[in-house]
Amino acid sequence: MMPRSLLPLVLLLLIAAGAAVWLNHEPDNTSMQSSLLFADLAPKAQDLDRVVISNQQGIVLEAVRKDGVWMARLDGLAVPYPVDAEQLSAMVQQLVDAKRIEAKTNNPDNHSVLGLSDIAQADSRATLVELATQQDTWQLLVGQTASSGMGSYVRLPRQNQTWLVDIIVSLPRDAQRWLDHNILPVSVGDVASLELSGPTALHLSVDEETQQAVLDGMPEQATLRYPRVLDNWLDSVVSVDFEQVEARTPVAQDASVQQYTLQLRSGTPITFTLIDDEDGAVLRVDGEQRELWQQVQYRLSAFAAGQLRKTMDDFISLPEEGEAEQPVIPMDEGEAPQ
């Protein structure tokens, strides 16, 4: 038999467990079979022309489709910047496919437990997603991921009812993460040569038949450090990534500036400049392919900047002193044995 002194403790535990179950499970009269969260979104998704993602701190991402291209409006930039259409499309598809799998609390006092308080509230942890066409708008508050990892808690902004849906909605932490990170709209196969001028001077040409890079001006006895070291570096240059897009700022007179010129097989050059400033390194691109290049610069990580800062010594090996190739001295093998 249970000691009487333990009965109050057991009762408290039962009450707490019951409260948790009640919070995450609604009465039977509000439950329903799995159904689409937005039944009318699928046939209209291709007509979407505006997506806004916000939280308590303000707008995270505002993307507008113009002439078939999704562009983001960024603080500090006078021009919109291209969005990564794949990430944006993936999120929209998630909302098209999302199904309600379980009704949760409809008590506004408990919305915060699921991370679904209105974003106007100071302690809100929700993200508001807004999708719009010229005629229709869909809004959704996205809260926490379920502890099972099987879905997200969501709520329509003007309704108290909360739901567990069958997908984890992919959302950006900030706008920069969902921008198009292809700075240079070319591939290695488009490049005929790469020339560096400034503190480091190098010239690479790409053999049209073998598609392999060749380093001009290598010392006579030098060898490449490993096969395809030049091709790997050229790929790093062409696919350079950024951390942040910024508005162009004046270059300090004492700044270290390294210039790169990509000559494309089409005959069109692309010139870009790596500039060291007090905050790290930025990249500026000049060319006819994109007008916005004239107004922006790209903040690079230390790793990305280091991938661009190469000298000939990074690519070649020279024989150490005393290891120079020795001349071959002919040997007199004598007469063959009788």
> What does the pLDDT read at residue 325?
52
Structural domain for 87, as ranges: 29-178
pLDDT at 8 over 90: no
Q: Is residue 232 part of a domain?
A: yes
Three-class secondary structure of residue 287 per DSSP: coil
pLDDT at 20 over 60: no
Please enumerate in sequence order all residues whose Cβ is within 8 A of that of 56, keeping only pairs 6 or more positions apart, or say none: 119, 120, 121, 122, 123, 124, 125, 126
Q: Which amino acid is at 44?
A: K
Q: Is residue 246 part of a domain?
A: yes
Band (244; pLDDT cuts 50, 70, 90): very high
Strands 58-66 and 50-55, how do they pair?
A: antiparallel
What distance in Å separates the CA atoms of residue 214 and residue 226, rounded to the nearest whole number?
13
pLDDT at 153 over 80: yes
Note whether 166 and 203 are same-domain residues.
no
Token pair of 118, please? 């209105």
Band (248; pLDDT cuts 50, 70, 90): very high
Band (326; pLDDT cuts 50, 70, 90): low
Q: Is residue 18 part of a domain?
A: no
> What does the pLDDT read at residue 208?
87
Note whether 153 and 220 are same-domain residues.
no
Span of 21-35, 94-108, 240-254 with lowest mean pLDDT: 21-35
Note whether 101 and 129 are same-domain residues.
yes
pTM of the complete model: 0.79
What distance in Å separates the CA atoms of residue 281 and residue 256, rounded to the nearest whole number?
10
Mean pLDDT for the chain overall? 87
Three-class secondary structure of residue 42 per DSSP: helix
Span of 169-173, 191-195, 219-223, 334-338 with lowest mean pLDDT: 334-338
Give the total number of structural domains in the chain.
Answer: 2
- Are the C-beta atoms of 91 and 60 separated by less than 8 Å? no
Note whether 121 and 52 are same-domain residues.
yes
DSSP code for 227? T
pLDDT at 327 over 60: no
Asked which of 143, 178, 213 is the last residue of a domain, the reply is 178
> What does the pLDDT read at residue 338?
46
Residue with tokens 């070649």: 316
Span of 22-26, 139-143, 287-291, 306-310 with lowest mean pLDDT: 22-26
Note whether 169 and 232 are same-domain residues.
no
Note whether 174 and 192 are same-domain residues.
no
Note whether 193 and 140 are same-domain residues.
no
Note whether 164 and 194 are same-domain residues.
no
Q: Name the percent of the chain in helix, strand, coil, to the closest 5.
A: 25, 30, 45
pLDDT in tens, 256-304: 999 999 999 999 999 999 999 888 999 999 987 788 999 999 999 999 9
> What does the pLDDT read at residue 31?
41
Please enumerate in sequence order all residues whose Cβ is within 8 A of that of 192, keeping only pairs 6 or more positions apart, or say none: 205, 206, 208, 263, 264, 265
Note whether 120 and 236 are same-domain residues.
no
More confident residue, 165 or 255: 165
More confident residue, 167 or 20: 167
Note whether 51 and 141 are same-domain residues.
yes
Note whether 38 and 164 are same-domain residues.
yes
Please state, as a whole number, how many other Cβ atoms lie within 10 Å of the Cβ of residue 158. Answer: 7
Taking CA atoms, 285 is separated from 141, 193, 304, 306, in Å, by: 39, 17, 15, 18
What are the E-state strand segments in 93-243? 99-103, 127-132, 137-145, 152-155, 162-165, 191-197, 202-206, 213-215, 223-224
